[in-house]
Amino acid sequence: MITQVTPAEVASLIPNGATVAGDGFTMMGVADEIYAAIEQSFLDRGVPNGLTFVHAAGQSNRVDGLARLAHPGLLKRVVGPHWGLNPPMANVLGEDEVEAICLPQGQISTLYRTIAANRPGQLSTVGLGTFVDPRLDGGRINDSARAAVAPEDYVKLVHVDGREYLFYKSFPLDVAIIRGSKIDPDGNMSQDDDVTILDSLAIAQAVHNNGGIVIAQVKEIVERGDIPARLVNVPGVLVDYVMVTSDPAKYHKQTNSAIEVNMDLITGYASPQELADSIMANELEDVRIRIGERGAKLVRDGDIINLGTGLPGDSIGRALATSGQLAKVTLTVESGTYGGVPLGGVDFGCALHPAAIIGHPQQFDFYNGGGVDITFMGVGQVDGRGNINVSAFGGKAIGCGGFMDIVDGAKRICFLMVADSKHPKWVHDVDQLTFYGAAALDKGQEVYLASEHYLLQLTEQGWKVLEVDDNDAAREAASYIHNALY
């Protein structure tokens, strides 16, 4: 039988100096009350401390989730992909108060399974030529990490059959923090009302096989037999402790914006016209509409599409709904959703009325293997050689998220950006190399950039103007791109 603990007791289970892995995506699947208990214990008594925290996706709404753990001393090191919705963590990592290792989201997600299987690591082309490559930084993104960690501690360059790969190394995990809707006395845990299927099983397997402890936050303990076997996401042999949340509305949100999601919205069928109507009901600035419409011209009937957060998620679905093409393609999001209406901001990762929801690592297997026909991604900085930065700005550690995994496998890549931004997008050299344009061309990928003024395609000679609006601002922008950056 599992051992039940209270919120006041749960933090004492975590040893000082432990490596902790936690599940979640924005606020979906996040064991938020356990994080709150860890924070309070540290502030009150100074324990636990010196933790290395590992996470495969951003887990915050800017205030809750992993933002609670953004305390130097509580954390020694963070290994994760993204802190764009976690300003407290982005600040402590950017200010070099906690060691920061940034690895691609899909590589961490699939690495949990690699660790569980006791394999030494996994091979991938994801991250070659970027800051994750050990020839550059090996994922180390601040000075304290560079002082404590060697370039090849997490990622090693290897050659197989004359081809370069990055070898993402396995490492021990001591504590798992996972979340489910219900659990029985033997520890069989179900996530039957969660809006995503993330990494809880792989994290629990990896920690259990390393001799560590698995802690689950749930809403209720049910009787034996109340959970059908097919709805058990984590079997009881893997769970050591359970904590029933004291306030599901506060600490066990299904998405950030809705305390309890109406499951009919998550699983209920909606016709293509109903989906289009739902997308069109959301207001959007004219400039973002124009950018989406320009980028969507690259979509072909039958395409499987990935939408990144921000501008792509806001604009592409709308453009496809306007053109009548929405029913002829499939929209996907990295969390594992297919179809439906993807949500954005602090609800990114969830979709209303999806056709299917699969696991987080399985989605990245599909993405890494080339399953996406076209992906739409945002831009922080871009240079004339087609290099892109989306991961580091203004002294803050933003991270790459799933960006690297997705663009590595996509057949076509379209970056979307507001050209008339208050923050200049075009630079001579990007601050951090998140996308290496030359490597994409070498692999035969098609790379585009769409703004409110123009559509560009990356060539070996640089950006080629495919389309430009007939106005002075657009012509000036296109001329600048063509002349000034080379």
Catalytic residues: 334
Q: By the 8 A CB rule, do 370 and 405 touch? A: no
CA distances (Å), origin 5, targets 21, 268, 273:
19, 36, 48
DSSP-derived secondary structure for 394-432: TTEE---TTHHHHHHH-SEEEEE--TT-SS--B-SS-SS
Two structure tokens written together for 263: 């499951």
C-alpha to C-alpha distance for 248 and 200, rounded to whole angstroms:
19
Structure tokens at 210: 């390393």
Distances (CA, A) of 339 to 60, 233, 378, 426, 448: 24, 23, 20, 33, 24
Amino acid sitting at position 137: D
CA dihedral 368, 370, 375, 377 (to 10 degrees): 30
Q: How far apart are CA 69 and CA 158, in angstroms?
A: 35
Taking each helix axis from N to C terminus, what angle separates 311-323 and 272-280, rounded to the nearest 10 degrees? 130
Q: By the 8 A CB rule, do 131 and 141 touch?
A: yes
What is the crossing angle of helices 311-323 and 286-296, to 10°? Answer: 70
Helix (H) or strand (E) holding 142: none
User: Is-contact 436 130, C-beta < 8 A?
Assistant: yes
Q: How far apart are CA 291 and CA 326, in angstroms?
A: 17
Asked if residues 79 and 50 have their Cβ atoms less than 8 Å apart, the reply is: no
What is the rounded distance in angstroms from the CA atom of residue 30 to the CA atom of residue 253?
Answer: 8
Residue 312, both tokens:
């792509």
Are β-strands 388-389 and 454-459 bridged in parallel, bridged antiparallel, or unpaired? unpaired
CA of 254: how far to CAs of 27, 346, 349, 362, in Å? 7, 12, 11, 21
- Cα–Cα distances (Å) from 209 to 37, 143, 187, 205, in that order, read 26, 33, 17, 6
| Both tokens assigned to 155 | 């990622």
Closest CA to 359 of 334, 331, 330, 329: 334
